[in-house]
């Protein structure tokens, strides 16, 4: 397993995530129409819901891949595949995740659905070549704190922190 320690953290508020996902939808509208969406769980579930609404898609499937345990990345494991009869080789389908980091998960899913169009809301440099479309580039050493991964609580000003 590879440990990821970020030099910087970027909290993403719900409103910002929604705006960035809609920005992705604008890019994807020019590439469609799509038959449906395959969400890469868990991170791809929420952007898939937003994109399904914005692109007026009703067919949403999921593929479940585990590659992270907290902030340690291991070998990706597919714990639920897609319904082959509905999705086939991915032709006409939009494959969605929240973020591409190293590209390990994206490459695995793309190998399973080679004709699908893989899109992420955020993309780090090491994984950008593994996706077809993304909305927002982020630095490799930035750890994104998604709104569903945290809780609101008071914190000390940066100047008062020891680390």
Of 98, 132, 141, 149, the active-site residue reads 98
**Could you confirm whether 56 is annotated as catalytic?**
no
DSSP the chain: -EE---SEEEE--HHHHHHHHHHHHHHHHTT---SEEEEEETTTHHHHHHHHHHTT---EEEEEEEEEETTEEEEEEEEE---HHHHTT-TTEEEEEEEESSSHHHHHHHHHSTTSEEEEEEE-GGGGGG-SEEEEE--TTEEEE-GGG--------GGG---
Indicate the length of the chain as a whole number: 163
**Token pair in block for residue 146:** 């998604």
Of 20, 69, 70, 97, the active-site residue reads 97
**Could you confirm whether 98 is annotated as catalytic?**
yes
**Could you confirm whether 101 is annotated as catalytic?**
yes
Of 3, 20, 101, 129, the active-site residue reads 101
Rounded Cα distance between 27 and 87, Å, is 22
Q: Which residues are catalytic?
A: 97-98, 101
């Amino acid at each position: 397993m590879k440990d990821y320690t970020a030099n910087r953290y970027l909290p993403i508020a719900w409103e910002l995530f929604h705006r960035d996902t809609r920005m992705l939808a604008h890019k994807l509208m020019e590439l469609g129409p799509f038959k449906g969406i395959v969400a890469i769980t868990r991170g791809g579930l929420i952007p898939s819901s937003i994109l399904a609404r914005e692109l007026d898609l009703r067919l949403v499937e999921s593929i479940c891949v585990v590659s992270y345990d907290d902030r340690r990345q291991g070998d990706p494991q597919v714990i639920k595949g897609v319904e082959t009869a509905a999705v086939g080789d991915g032709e006409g389908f939009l494959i969605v995740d929240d973020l591409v980091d190293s590209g390990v998960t994206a490459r695995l899913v793309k190998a399973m659905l080679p004709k699908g169009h893989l899109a992420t809301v955020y993309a780090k440099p090491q994984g950008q070549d593994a996706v077809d479309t993304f909305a927002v580039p982020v630095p490799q050493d930035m750890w994104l704190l998604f709104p569903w991964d945290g809780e609101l609580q008071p914190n000390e000003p940066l100047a008062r922190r020891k680390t």
